[in-house]
Structures are given as structure tokens and as C-alpha cells.
Amino acid sequence: MLRRATASIRSQVVILMYHRVFEASSDPWELCVSPKHFGEHLELLRRHYQVLSLHELVRLLRDGQLPKRGVVLTFDDGYADNLWNARPLLEKYETPATVFITSGSIDSPTEFWWDGLQRTLLHPKTLPKHLQLSVQDRLYEWPVTSSEDRQRAYAAIHQILQPLKPSNRNQVMNDLLAWSEMDPMARSDYLPLATTELIQLAQSEFVDIGAHSVTHPLLAGMSQANQTAEIAGSRQKLEAILGCPVDTFSYPWGNLTSETVEIVKAAGFEIALTSDGKAVEVGANPFRLGRFGVGDWGREKFKQHLNSFFLA
């Protein structure tokens, strides 16, 4: 009991992890928060919490002084809706946020592979009854008649594709799109940011840009040289586009080893965020700060979750 009472008044900062501000019809990974709900989140945060930018958090951590109910907002991946749907609300509520960009997806005409996979299998479209896929010389087969079948195939293929090299994964995605007879071009509301949009997003006084690797890989399974190319490469590309320093990083899939942390430090970043659900306290390692994913919650549900994050 005593521990709990002490915990509730500890100085803590909760870092929230968003991906998209978008009204989705199918969202298996809960990446989308509707614009209405996002506005409600910001209104509540402005009223009852101290919202900090990530750079303010870096400074406060360095000084060993954190507020009692601090919150930092972040977005991962770099969807175009961060400009069109999130930026206007961040400005309306004067709330800072950092957007982490997968630099290799800037200007991409195709969707992030996880969205493309969702579109081919979970979209309510008539599909052939069977799916056969050859992945790196292995043949896989799934029935896809019922929606349960489709869900199962989706989850299995997600797991198979996640560790693949981009070139191998693109090959499988092309096979899948051909099999499903879908347009390989992205749905207009599933696009990553284009260069011009990224520049426009960064121009907002309430938005900072951070790096999120080049190709969104599982960094922990890669060689040191390849991790460096992903981590330092994303920083270089973003700095070249924006003409200003990019010194914050978020680990794709929250996946890292201690070697990854050293590479992030060596690449000149000041802070790096994982996806471990833990609040930031004085003395926290700035290269392993935890975050909490946010779902498409209304005001009350958001408030409840937020309270539970602070007690974590």
C-alpha cells in the first residue's frame, strides 16, 4: 500500500506512442486513432498534464528534474496523415510532438508492407480459396475462405515477412498483390509522407522530426554494419531534406540489443525510444526510454489508460 501511495506522487514522464490519426475500417495492429479521439486526448492532456517536447525531456533528464505528470507525444513510421490530420490538432491545442520517420519510405508510391498485407488479406474482397506463397525457397499454403482463415494467414505471413530483407519481402508482397488482383499502388489515405509533406510537417513549431531507420527492420538480428547503415543512414537522409539536426531516434518494432544502443549513440543521437511500457523516471537511460502505445480510445478510456501508465 505504502509503495503505491509513494508511486502516485513520484516525478514521472509518460511517453505516448501514436502512429496514425485516421479513421480506419480495419486496423489489426491498432495503429489508428480517429481525429475526433485524438482531439479529445489533446484537450485532456492540455488541461490536466504537463506536455513536454522530447527535447525538453532530454534537458530535464540531464538536470535530474522531472515534472509529476509529464507527458511526451510521439508518432512512429511517418504516415502522411500526420501532416493532414495530426498537425492541425497539435496546433489547435498547442501541443508538441515528435514524429519518427522511416526514411526509406519517404515518397514511396506503395504502402508500408504491413498495410499492404492487411489490404490483400483482410479487405472485404472476394479472394481465391487458397493462397500459396513461396518465400525463400519454402512453399507455404493457407486456406482463405472464411474471415478466421484470412486472419490466421495474415498473422502467419506477417511473422514470416517481418525478418526478411526488403528485397525479398517486396518480392513476396508483389506475389501477394498479383494473387489478390489488387492495385499495387497505395490507397491514397495509406501513403507515407512525401518529401514536400515532410518539410511542411517539420515547419510547424509544434512538430519535431526524429529518425526511425531506413527500412524499418528488426535491428537486433542485423550485423553491426547493417545496423549502422539503417540508423545513421536515416539520420543523414532526414538532415539532408530538412537542413537541421535530427537527434532523436525510435527503434523499429521496439527491437534492439545493447549493441544497437551503442550504434545509436555513436551515430550522434541524444535520445532513443523503445516500445517497453514503462514511465520515465529520474536517472533513466536516455537511450532506452519506454513508451506506451495509444489506441483509438475516447476521453474516458484514454484517461483510465493514462492513469495506469503513471502507476506502472
Q: What backbone torsions phi and psi does residue 25 show, to the nearest 5 degrees?
A: -90, -30
Given the complex with Zn ion, which of 114 and 140 has the nearer CB atom?
114
Number of residues that bind Zn ion (CB under 5 A): 3
Of 4-43, binders to Zn ion (CB under 5 A) are none
The residue among 76 and 296 lying less far from Zn ion, judged by its C-beta, is: 76
Pick the closer one to Zn ion by CB: 75 or 297. Answer: 75
Report the nearest approach of Zn ion to the CB of residue 275 (Å): 9
Residues 63-82, mask of contacts with Zn ion (x by CB under 5 A)? -------------xx-----
Nearer to Zn ion, 29 or 125 (CB): 29
Query: Torsion-angle region of residue 253: left (phi > 0), alpha (psi -120 to 50) or beta?
Result: left
> What is the smallest separation between the CB atom of 168 and Zn ion, expressed in angstroms?
19
Q: Which is nearer to Zn ion, 77 or 270 (CB)?
A: 77
How far apart (Å, rounded) are the C-alpha atoms in residues 261 and 231?
10
Residue 245 CA: distances (Å) to CA of 32, 62, 228, 270:
29, 19, 18, 11
Least CB distance to Zn ion at residue 137 (A): 29
Nearer to Zn ion, 27 or 76 (CB): 76
Q: Sketch the per residue contact string, 120 through 159, with Zn ion: x for CB under 5 A, - otherwise.
A: ----------------------------------------
Contacts of 154 (CB under 8 A, 6+ apart): 28, 117, 118, 121, 122
Instruction: Measure the CA–CA gap between 9 and 69, rounded to whole angstroms.
Output: 9
Residue nearest to Zn ion (CB): 76
N residues, the chain: 312
- 230 is a site residue for Zn ion (CB under 5 A): no
Shortest distance, position 112 Cβ to Zn ion, whole Å: 8
Torsion of CA 263, 266, 270, 273, to 10 degrees: 0
CB of 238 to Zn ion, least distance (A): 15
CB of 47 to Zn ion, least distance (A): 29
Kindly identify the residues of this chain, within the stretch 233-262, that bind Zn ion according to CB under 5 A: 252
Q: Work out the end-to-end distance of the chain between its first and last CA atoms, rounded to an integer number of angstroms.
A: 14
Q: Could you tell me the smallest distance in angstroms from the CB atom of residue 253 to Zn ion?
A: 7
Shortest distance in whole angstroms from residue 76 CB to Zn ion: 4
Q: Is 243 left (phi over 0), alpha (psi -120 to 50) or beta?
A: left
Distance (Å, rounded) from C-alpha 149 to C-alpha 52?
44
Task: Please identify, using beta-carbon distances, which residue of 70 and 192 lies nearer to Zn ion.
Answer: 192
Binding site for Zn ion (CB under 5 A): 76-77, 252
